[in-house]
Each structure stands twice: as structure tokens, then as C-alpha cells.
Amino acid sequence: MRYNQFSYTPVSEEQMLTELQALGFDLSPIKSDKANFELFVRKTFFNYADTDYPLSTLLADEQTDLLTFFTSDQELTADIFYHVSLQILGFVPGVDYTNLADFLEKIAFPVTFDNIIKNIYHLLNCRKKSGNTLIDHLVAQELIPQDNTYHFFNGKVLSTFTTHDLIREVVYVETGLDTDEDGQIDLVKVNIIRPRFDGQVPAMMTNSPYQQGVNEPASDKALYKMAGELQTKEATQIIVASPSQPELLNGTAPSKTSSPAEETFTYQGRFTTLNDYFLSRGFANIYVSGIGTLGSQGLMTSGDYRQIQSFKAVIDWLNGRAVAFTSQRRDKQIRADWSNGKVATTGLSYLGTLSTGLATTGVDGLEVIIAEAGISSWYDYYRENGLIVSPGGYPGEDLDSLAELTYSKSLQAGDFLKTKDKHQAFISQMAKDLNRETGDFSQFWQDRNYLPNLDKIKAEVVYTHGLQDWNVKPIHVYNVFNQLLPSVKKHLFLHLGAHVYMNNWQSIDFRESINGLLSQKLLAYQSNYQLPEIIWQDNSADQSWQTLDQFGSQTYQTLELGDSEEQIENSYDEETFTRYDKDFNAFKQDLFTDKANQVTVDLKLDADLFINGRIKLNLRVKSSVAKGLISAQVLDFGPAKRITAIPVPLAPRAVDNGRNFVQEHLMELPMPETPHRVLTKGHLNLQNRNDLMTVEPVTPDTWMDVALELQPTVYKLKKGDTLRLLVYTTDFEHTVRDNRSWQITVDLSQSNIQLPLNTSN
């Protein structure tokens, strides 16, 4: 374990004493350090009638147990403080460590022994080996009662709301839309879980089209075969307007009375345990699937601003600006009198995507979005530089197959009977509009592009994204984060994982950092907490995180690629093509070891490099035909210990999200020896070589200079490391699988690679 503490806020000694005494730690500056420390340690064992016993089981130093130390005349030293503190945090002398000084340095222990009151206060904010902070662990053990009122420590709200007596209710909110054109405004179903509280509470809102169920058979039928011909496109200039906004219908006039909810539920599928963490801290949990899902009305419009509006309407209802009903009869209205109107959104992937889309409406009441691995432009999810490019791991998926997956109204046979024809007509039109023939940008994709509306964002934004996420690739967060207005408060956690949550990792206090922010923004708690703008997981050491000043540098180091001309044959023999077509991982294995049709350039570094941004490939190429595609990847190549992309469990059910509530595994990204690591990748249609919006002809056997910017990354390399550049045509994981015989020739003597260099901290 290594401490990377971003949630702790230094406060005055007066405030420390006030907060400590409110929890029953009756410390005093007039007492000796030893007396205060003994009082603290005994209080941590409040569930013992006789605290002498647990003290006798701890070690003060190599010769003395803690009870003996406290009854002696020996002074409290730094070493004794550290030994005892580590044991309270779950570390075992002789098991987890033998040399105290070395271990403190290894784990970057954040408490420096100087002022005992400050040290104790800080120690309570440190994570135990098992994942929870010490204060959260003690509160979960009933240090203070569950009185369903708000209590704070170091600017963070504590788990003092019972999760055993919750209010669960369902309402149906008017959206202002009629996407299925049945003459009625579409209603969306809202599942609410909230604590009992004599007052108003904020809400954690998760917008998930998956939440009411998915139709995998329908989605599978809509998948596309990737084998096929790369089309030659007509030269054209693509022109689009601003993203289309829905015209809203006049809704029902608000009633002066509010009826109680008529519908409830028991189980709520979990998409992020961050909601559960805040539920036990006095936040409502709200789950909305949106239009076109089971229990709601309308069509699945998939990523456009009609879908976004169906979530915005819920925030409007929470603030008294929209109407909700107790049932789909629409005869009784219900108000959100329990809501303080302040909302934070949560969730990963599609869920995080909708958070960004929702923020671009500028809706009042949306205070914070926590968007994890979210899409910022749907074109960049299913296309790239004029090519059809499937998200990693999902070859053949497109927006219509995703719409089929999430149109969960099809899971309710009687309801589907009424909407089946309209749904199928809508999906058929979508299949035409998404245009798999060319892979070009269009108004259809512009309507699902949130970047043009970033200037409307008023909420504070928190993004998390994996630099090994080849599903929702890093370009999504790179674009949105760097194009936000300077007035928007923004934060970014860049980790080294894939398409994964990070809130239960051992190495970083993510939940606690979000707690500090939401306590300020949604509970109006006054603190000096400052969440850093960019926090990056350092690849050069295990469990190491640091702050950055930028994501993306415009300072480059250029490396030449060689002096030869190399030809890439696009086609494979039938046996090899069939093997790759059946399993793209077989292709990747051959590609990384220089066994596919490719150009491989190994570049040994003569100095340390800190890459931050988009690596650029400047290539001189020619195609044997009037079309062509270029794929490229850059690897950190050669056996070495590297942090890998999928978190593994360290301790089962160790992380408590309340008081014995939704306990989850403590996780971490491991750091084994690996043969290589993919740093970045990219794809380009040669007919879009200069601009996404310009389709140009390719003249066979004529040299072209093309620039391909790869996916953004942040990565440290050492002198002597090898960068392996792979240039090829068909990518069996991502692109169309065209097995026709044509060639791309690369003039390496007129080509280079440009590495963006980190220029700060």
C-alpha cells in the first residue's frame, strides 16, 4: 500500500479540537502528548468495556507492549507514535514491515510526528490498510449514533444516516417530449431511494439506459459483420449545423397539492457504489433510464438532446419546475418537497456520457457531474477520421445495435405491442442515418456531439478516465477537458486502467475527495477543501499518483523513423484472415510481435521522456488504389514491470460504504512483468487525410504527406526503453476487415514521430 492523499484539508488547532471533541475525543493542548495519545487510542477501542486488553495486544516498540508503555514513565517518541498508528490502521509489525523507517517511506505515510493533536486529527483521516479511513471505520463501528442528521469531520460528511429504514418510491416525470408521436408527453420513470430526514436533502442522480434491463438478443441481431470492402468515397465538403435541440411541448399545469407516492420497489441494480456511499451520508439516490426504457415512454433516441432532455426534466422536477405523477394514469401529481434542489450525477460509460450531455444544457440545480469514462462525441465512439471504428472489444457494434440493447420497453410484451412498429421504423431510419458506407461525419453525428455546447456548462465537473480505455477512448475526456471555458471548475483523475470504476482502489482516496467536494457544493458546508485540477496515476511506480498542470503539451520531440521504403500488403491468405476474423486477439498477438502485415520501427531512447498529450505520426505514404487506411499503435516494448489495466481484488468485501452497508472488494491495478504496453493507437481514412470534414480523392501510386494524431496519453519512459511503432492497414479489433489486395507504401526517410513532452511539474 502507498498513501496518495488528496482529500485531507489542514485546519486550525481550534477547529481540530472542536471536531475531535464532538466525536468523543476529549483532547486538550494542556495535556501531555502521551496523555492525549493514550486517550485517543483508548477511545478507538470504545467497543471494549476494558480497554487495557486491546492496548496490551499492540506493540509500542520491539520490547514493550502499549499498555506497559502507557503505565511507564517513558516519553512518547516518534517511533512509538508511528508503530502504534500503523497498527491502528491495520498494519502488523513483523508481517507488513520489519524496518519502521523504510516502511514509512515506502508507503509515503502522510503524518509527520510533531504536534500530537494535529497528528491524531490527520491520522483519523488516513485510510486503513483495508480501504476505509480510520474515522469512517470508527463511525461504522458506532462511534457516534445514526441519528439521521449531518455530521462532518475535516470537511467531509460522515455516515450517520441509517440505510435500514429508507424511503423507496417511484414517480413519473413529464419530459416535454413526444418522441413516439402518440399525442401525449413522454413520461420517464424515476426510482428514488432516500433517507428519512426532517428537512431537505441533495441527490446523487445516475442516468442509465441500462437500469431497467437490456435486450441482448435484439442487439446481437443488429450487429454488423466487420468483413467487407473499404469504400472509395466521392470527394466532398461536409457541412453541418449546430446540434439539434428538441422543441418542448407545454406540460401539465402544476398542482397546488402533492399526493404521496403510490409505487415502490425493493431491489435497485447497482451501477456505482459511490451512490451507496453517499446514501448513508444523507444523499438521496435517483435512478433514471430515460425515454424508450421499460416503465417510461417514448423512443430510444440514443445520445441526442431529446434523450438528454428526458434526464434534464428530472432535475427540473427536483427544483419545482416540472410536473411528476404518482403513476402513468397522470391523475395525481407529486412534488419533490424533500429535495434541496442540488444534484450531482454519477456513473461510468453511457452513464458518464449522459452526465456531460446534461451539463451542456446548463440546467439549474446540477451542481456537480462525476463523469467516469464518458463519451463527448458519439462520432468519436463509433468512427474515427472518416472510418468506421468499433469501440475496443465490441467489433460490429453501432448506435442502432446499442439502441436495440437499451430499448427495454421491448422487454414488456404488452407495452412493446403498442410501440413496436414505431420503434422498428425509428431504428431503420437510424441505420440509414448513421451511414456505415462512408464512415463520414454528418448532422446525425453532430446531433450527438456535446462539444459545441460546452460553453453552456455551469456545473463543476469531475472526470475520471483510463489511459488504457480502448472502449471509450481517452480522446473523449481530452477534448472535453481542454475545451471547457476557463470559468468552469474542472477536475480530472487520469488512471492507468481500462474501462473501469476507481472508487474502491487502495492507492487513492477518491471517495473521500468527492465527499469533500460534494459536502461543499450540495450540503453548503464551509471548508477550505481544494480538489486538484488533474490527478494522474504515475506509471513509473506502483500505487503512485501525482498532480499535473496540463493534459496535453504542444512541445514536441521529433524522432526519425528510418531511411527505407516499406510496403504493407493489406490482404492475408484465407486461413490467416479467417483466424483473425474469428478472434481479433489472435491478430493483436501477431501484430505486437511483428508477425502481421505491418511496418515495425523500434526506437531506443537515449534520454528519459515524460509524454503528455497526443503523439503525432507524420508519414509519407502512397496507395496502390484510389483509397486506403492507415492504422498505428505505439508500444512501450520489452519485458518490464508495468501497471496493467484491470484492477484485481486485494481484500474481499473490505470497503464499507456505510455501516456494514454494500461492502465491496478493495481493488488495485497490479504491476507484474509484461512484454509490452500499448501507449496509444489511431486510425485514418486516407480520403480524410487533411480534415475530417473534407473528403479528398486518393490518386493511386502518388505520394501523400499525412499527419495522424493518436489517442492522448500521459506516460513516463526511461533512457534505454524501446518505443515500438506499428503501422498497418486493417485493424481486426476496430476497423472494417477488407481483405482485398492493395498496398500502402511508407517512405520512412520522409516520415517521423513527434512525442509531446510534459512541460510542467
Indicate whether 585 pLDDT > 90: yes
Q: How large is the average pLDDT for residues 568-576?
A: 98
- Amino acid letter for position 581: D
- Residue 550 sits at the vertex; the CA angle it makes with 544 and 552, to the nearest 5 degrees, is 105
CB atoms within 10 A of CB 328: 14
C-alpha cell at 341: 434542489
With contact defined as beta carbons under 8 Å apart, do 550 and 760 qualify?
yes
How far apart (Å, rounded) are the C-alpha atoms in residues 369 and 464? 11
Indicate whether 723 pLDDT > 80: yes
Return the residue matching grid coordinates 509531446: 756
318's enclosing H/E stretch is helix 305-318
- Residue 164 sits at the vertex; the CA angle it makes with 163 and 165, to the nearest 5 degrees, is 95
Residue 436 gets which letter from DSSP?
A: T
Cα distances (angstroms) measured from residue 670 to each of 373, 393, 541, 608: 20, 21, 11, 24
Cα distances (angstroms) measured from residue 38 to each of 110, 128, 158, 402: 21, 19, 24, 59
Q: DSSP letters of 173-216?
A: EE-S--TT-SSSPPEEEEEEEE---SS-EEEEEEE-TTTT---H
620's enclosing H/E stretch is strand 609-623
How far apart (Å, rounded) are the C-alpha atoms in residues 340 and 527? 20
Kindly indicate the confidence band of residue 760, based on its pLDDT and cuts at 50, 70 and 90. confident
* 365 phi and psi angles, rounded to 5 deg: 105, -25
Q: How large is the average pLDDT for residues 449-466?
A: 98
Q: DSSP letters of 673-733?
A: EEEEEEEEEEEEEGGGSS-TTEE----TT--EEEEEEEEEEEEEE-TT-EEEEEEES--TT
What pLDDT is recorded for position 745? Answer: 98
How far apart (Å, rounded) are the C-alpha atoms in residues 698 and 701? 9
C-alpha cell at 338: 424533500
How far apart (Å, rounded) are the C-alpha atoms in residues 442 and 693? 9
**Mean pLDDT (the chain, rounded):** 97
With contact defined as beta carbons under 8 Å apart, do 222 and 391 qualify?
no
C-alpha cell at 691: 480534415
pLDDT tens-digit readout, 624-645: 999 999 999 999 999 999 999 9
Domain locations in the chain as residue ranges: 13-146, 167-228+250-537, 556-756
How far apart (Å, rounded) are the C-alpha atoms in residues 367 and 462? 11
Closest residue by Cα to residue 3 from 125, 97, 79, 107: 107
Cα distances (angstroms) measured from residue 134 to each of 35, 44, 153, 358, 481: 20, 9, 12, 36, 34
Kindly indicate the confidence band of residue 277, based on its pLDDT and cuts at 50, 70 and 90. very high
Closest residue by Cα to residue 11 from 394, 527, 645, 518: 527
Indicate whether 272 pLDDT > 90: no
- Kindly give, in sequence order, each residue whose CB lies less than 8 Å from that of residue 614, ignoring residues fewer than 6 positions away: 478, 552, 680, 709, 710, 711, 712, 756
* Side-chain half-sphere exposure of 57, counting CA atoms within 13 A: 10
CB atoms within 10 A of CB 547: 12
pLDDT tens-digit readout, 288-334: 999 999 999 999 999 999 999 999 999 999 999 999 999 999 999 99
Q: How large is the average pLDDT for residues 276-285?
A: 98
CB atoms within 10 A of CB 167: 14
Residue 469 gets which letter from DSSP?
A: -
Q: How large is the average pLDDT for residues 585-594?
A: 97
Indicate whether 270 pLDDT > 80: no
With contact defined as beta carbons under 8 Å apart, do 626 and 697 qualify?
yes
What pLDDT is recorded for position 695? Answer: 98
How far apart (Å, rounded) are the C-alpha atoms in residues 146 and 151? 10
Q: How large is the average pLDDT for residues 541-564?
A: 97
Q: How large is the average pLDDT for residues 523-551?
A: 98
- Amino acid letter for position 375: I
pLDDT tens-digit readout, 352-392: 999 999 999 999 999 999 999 999 999 999 999 999 999 99
C-alpha cell at 539: 506509471
CATH code of the domain made up of 167-228+250-537? 3.40.50.1820
pLDDT tens-digit readout, 224-250: 999 999 999 999 999 999 999 999 999
Active-site residues, by number, are 349, 469, 499
What pLDDT is recorded for position 267? Answer: 73
CB atoms within 10 A of CB 337: 8
CATH code of the domain made up of 556-756? 2.60.120.260
Longest CA pairwise span in the chain (Å): 90
How far apart (Å, rounded) are the C-alpha atoms in residues 484 and 533? 13
Tell how many helices (H) and how many strands (E) occur in the chain.
20, 31
Kindly indicate the confidence band of residue 761, based on its pLDDT and cuts at 50, 70 and 90. low
pLDDT tens-digit readout, 89-130: 999 999 999 999 999 999 999 999 999 999 999 999 999 999
With contact defined as beta carbons under 8 Å apart, do 452 and 242 qualify?
yes
